[in-house]
Structure formats: structure tokens, C-alpha cells
Amino acid sequence: MQLSELEKGMVRYFGLSLGLDLSSTIGVGRRRGSGLVVRAGKAALCLTKRNRSRKSLARTHGFRRRMRTTGGRAMLKRRRAKGRKILCTKTNPNSGKRA
């Protein structure tokens, strides 16, 4: 069963949120009276979420990184004006997972 070009494009973009590559028509079918049916392999759906370390998060989203750029300083200024107690959550030791 052939899919139209529009349906192929829809399959390709809807699968991105699941981490699937649906650019081929293998595992994709259309039944009468129902929507698009997609069958994904078990390995594609069982990927574990990777947690980044607090150090690497602070390196990109921390206070000192924010102070380096004009936009970062403006963001800190907005959070101060709003009355936020914590300006940068990634450098706050009381946030996130605790062992």
C-alpha cells in the first residue's frame, strides 16, 4: 500500500517526538476507517532519560554565565524585578535531586 507525499511527510515529523525514524514506509500502514497506524520497535521506545550533572547545568545556565552576556544580565534584572528569591536555579544547591 502506497502513501501519498503528504502522508509521508506527516509520518516523518510526528515520529520525532518519540525518537523514531519513520522516514521509510516499513511498519506504517493505513486501515480503512482509522487513523495512521505506527508500529515502533521495543528498543526505540525504551530509551532511558539521561540526567546531566549539576556542574554541567551550572556551566551553561548558572549565575556566572548569565553575568557574562548582556542578555543574561537582562534576564537576571527581570528576575530581580519580579522578586525571585533564586535568580539562577541551576547554581542553587537546594534545587534538584538530593541523595
Per-residue pLDDT of the chain (99 residues; tens, 9 = 90+): 565 655 555 555 545 455 555 555 555 555 566 666 666 666 656 678 888 888 888 888 899 999 999 999 999 999 999 999 999 888 887 766 665
**Look-up of cell digits 534584572:** 77
Instruction: Count CA within 13 A, CB hemisphere, residue 3.
Output: 22
- Tell me whether residue 54 is exposed, middle or buried, using C-beta atoms within 10 angstroms of its C-beta: 0 to 12, 13 to 18, 19 or more: middle
Indicate the pTM of the whole model.
Answer: 0.46
pLDDT attached to residue 25: 54
Q: How far is CA 56 from CA 28, 30, 51, 62, in A?
A: 39, 45, 10, 9
